[in-house]
Amino acid sequence: MMTTAHVGRRRFLAAVAAAAAAPGLVGATRAVRVSDPPGSRIIAADQASRRVLLLDPAAVATRSLLAPRWSWAPGDGLADLRPDLTWRNVSDAKWVGLPGSAGVLCCASEGLAALVALADGAVRWAVAVPHANLHSVELLSDGSVAVCASTAGWVRVYAAALGPRCGQYTEFALPGAHGLHWDQRGGVLWALGDHDLVALTVGLTVGDVRGLASLAATARYPLPDPGGHDLAAAGPGSDRLWVTTNAHVHQFSTSQAVFVPYPEHGLVDRPQVKSVGTDPVTGRILLATPAADNPCTWCTSTVELVGPAGQETVQGSSLYKARWAVPAHSTA
């Protein structure tokens, strides 16, 4: 029987192959295609090259700023959003499903957020919000895009399906907003702030010219310790979320509505983890933690793998977050 993970894996490989074969990528660069070994890719926000990088953990040739499997930075088509100013300190990148294809949703602290098609690098949607300190993004099931900003202290949901520069949004105040996760099964947008994990319901009305109707908290859970940073699913079909803070890596059970112990605690729990995630294909855990020898004090050039243990280094990079590049939503 073919599982959802297998179907997603086939779609992932097909999308990567299409990207490698596509001529004249718009706003993107690509490496010579290599063979596809088992396992998922890694998508990373690199502040050194100001690019989103798609890396292959099983192929040394693509663990390089000179030869990633795929990369993206804003091209001329986004000149109106001043990427020379707004595409600085790339802060997050997530692999997403788009109608008929795969895509990447990304943002930079200085204000630019964009939804990009993998096959040709074309920008499906983009917005710039200077001085807000964007930290994370999420694609909702109706095509809306959630964005959170730590300095401005809000979560916004943009009606991105209404057009490539649609700036209509609804907003929820959340001090220190750093992390987002869309629970498609439950229809809940989880948001992480300085002190709380919040469950948000979204009024999805993108077909209406008024845009989104509402964004409201249905539950709020105090963090075990302050400084919420990253938020991600702890595996396919799991009711658990990874939650990182300034001092620890936690797991939260959405069904029990409580922070819970987890088996890998002794291997994973540490301070200042900027991103953590579980590979839906292999179950391996990926972490990005600042390294003392990196020119960017909040970045690293080496990400850590757990189960089995390992490291992946991209020489010359300043990776802020790194995630597994697997479809988060259906691409059908």
**93-150 residue pLDDT tens:** 999 988 878 899 999 999 999 999 998 889 999 999 999 999 999 999 989 999 999 9
DSSP string covering 150-219: TTTTEEEEE-GGG-TT---EEEEE-TT--EEEEETTTTEEEEE-SSEEEEEEE---TTSTT----EEEEE
At residue 218 the predicted structure's pLDDT band, cuts being 50, 70 and 90, is very high
234-268: pLDDT as tens digits: 988 889 999 999 999 999 999 999 999 999 999 99
**Per-residue pLDDT averaged across 16-43, rounded?**
43
- Long-range residue pairs from 199-205, CB within 8 A, at least 24 positions apart, any chain: 199/254, 200/155, 200/172, 202/140, 202/144, 202/146, 202/157, 202/170, 203/170, 204/140, 204/141, 204/142, 204/144
pTM for the predicted model, two decimal places: 0.86
pLDDT of residue 48: 97
Question: Can the peptide bond before residue 175 be classed as cis, meaning omega within 30 degrees of 0?
Answer: no
Please tell me whether residue 8 adopts helix, strand or coil conformation.
helix
- For residue 118 the two structure tokens come to 């993998």
Cα–Cα distances in Å, from 19 out to 14, 23, 76, 114, 131? 9, 9, 20, 18, 33
pLDDT of residue 287: 97
282-317: pLDDT as tens digits: 899 999 999 999 999 999 999 999 998 999 999 999
The phi, psi pair for 98, rounded to 5°, reads: -115, 160
Q: Around Cβ 291, how many Cβ atoms within 10 Å?
A: 16
172-188: pLDDT as tens digits: 999 999 999 999 988 99
